[in-house]
C-alpha cells in the first residue's frame, strides 16, 4: 500500500525529519506544508505543496503527519492542532538509532541518526532526540523536549516539558531539569535545575529567568 508523509515545516529540522523518514523505507511519498509555499516549491527532492493551515484537506488513511518545527512551543502548538484534527501522527526513528524495545515513545517524536535510548526510558509527545544523543536507562523526557546533538544523559534523568538541552551537554545520573528551561551548549549538569531558567557552564548554573509559557 502506498503511504504518504506530510511534514509541517520545511526548514532545517524539516530536512532532517524528511531524510529520517526516507531512510525508514515506510513512505512512498514525502511532502511539505510550509507558509513559504508561494516561493519555496521544493526542499531537496521533496515538494512543498501547501500552507500548514490546510492540513486537513489531505487527510486519509494512507497519510501520516509530522511536525518538524525546532522551536518547542511552536511544535507543541502544531502537534496539538493535529491531535484535535484526529489525523494520523507519525513517530520517526532513524534506522541507525539504537532504541531499546523497553523504551516508550509517544507520538510525534523524532529520534535522529546514531542516537541511543536505553531500557525503560520514556519519551513524551513531540520530542526531539537529536543526532548522536545518548539517553541512558530510566530517563524521562516530558512532552516537547529537545535534546540537541551529542548530549549524554546518565540514568534516571528527568527533563520537564518544553525544555531545551543544548548541544554537547552532559547530565549526571538522577538529575531533574525543570519545565521550560534552557541548558546552554556544553554545560555539565550535576545539580537539579528548576523551571523557567537559562543555565550554562561547568557546572551548570542559572544565569537568568526564561519567559514562562502556557502548558
Give the pLDDT of residue 92: 98
Which residue in the block uniquely carries the three cell numbers 488513511? 61
Report the Cα 66 to chain-centroid distance in Å.
10
Cell numbers that stand for 54 in this block: 490546510
Give the pLDDT of residue 5: 98
Q: What is the mean pLDDT of each run of 10 residues along the chain (215 residues)?
A: 94 98 98 97 96 97 97 98 98 98 98 98 98 98 98 98 98 98 98 98 98 86
Considering the candidates 13, 94, 137, 146, report the single residue annotated as catalytic. 137
Which residue in the block uniquely carries the three cell numbers 524528511? 18
Among 25, 30, 24, which Cα is nearest to 66's? Answer: 30
All residues at 6 or more sequence positions from 62 whose CB lies less than 8 Å from its CB, including other chains: 1, 2, 3, 4
| Residue 13 annotated in active site | no
Give the pLDDT of residue 84: 97
Cα angle for residues 169, 166, 157 (degrees, 5° grid): 55
Task: Give the Cβ contact number of residue 212 at 10 Å.
Answer: 11
Q: pLDDT digit string (tens) for 130-168?
A: 999 999 999 999 999 999 999 999 999 999 999 999 999
pTM of the prediction? 0.97
Amino acid at each position: 500500500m502506498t503511504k504518504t508523509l506530510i511534514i509541517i515545516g520545511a526548514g532545517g529540522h524539516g530536512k532532517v525529519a524528511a531524510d529520517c523518514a526516507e531512510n525508514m523505507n515506510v513512505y512512498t511519498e514525502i511532502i511539505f506544508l510550509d507558509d513559504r509555499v508561494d516561493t519555496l516549491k521544493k526542499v531537496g527532492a521533496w515538494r512543498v505543496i501547501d500552507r500548514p493551515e490546510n492540513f486537513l484537506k489531505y487527510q486519509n488513511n494512507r497519510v501520516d503527519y509530522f511536525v518538524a518545527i525546532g522551536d518547542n512551543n511552536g511544535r507543541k502548538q502544531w502537534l496539538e492542532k493535529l491531535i484535535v484534527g484526529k489525523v494520523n501522527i507519525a513517530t520517526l526513528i532513524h534506522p541507525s538509532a539504537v532504541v531499546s524495545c523497553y523504551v516508550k515513545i509517544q507520538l510525534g517524536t523524532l529520534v535522529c541518526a546514531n542516537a541511543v535510548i536505553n531500557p525503560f526510558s520514556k519519551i513524551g509527545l513531540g520530542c526531539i532526540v537529536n543526532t548522536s544523543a545518548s539517553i541512558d536507562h530510566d530517563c524521562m523526557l516530558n512532552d516537547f523536549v529537545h535534546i540537541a546533538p551529542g548530549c549524554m544523559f546518565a540514568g534516571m534523568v528527568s527533563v520537564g516539558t518544553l525544555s531545551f538541552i543544548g548541544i554537547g551537554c552532559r547530565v549526571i545520573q538522577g538529575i531533574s531539569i525543570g519545565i521550560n528551561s534552557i541548558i546552554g551548549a556544553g554545560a555539565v549538569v550535576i545539580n537539579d535545575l528548576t523551571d523557567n531558567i537559562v543555565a550554562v557552564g561547568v557546572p551548570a548554573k542559572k544565569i537568568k529567568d526564561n519567559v514562562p509559557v502556557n502548558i
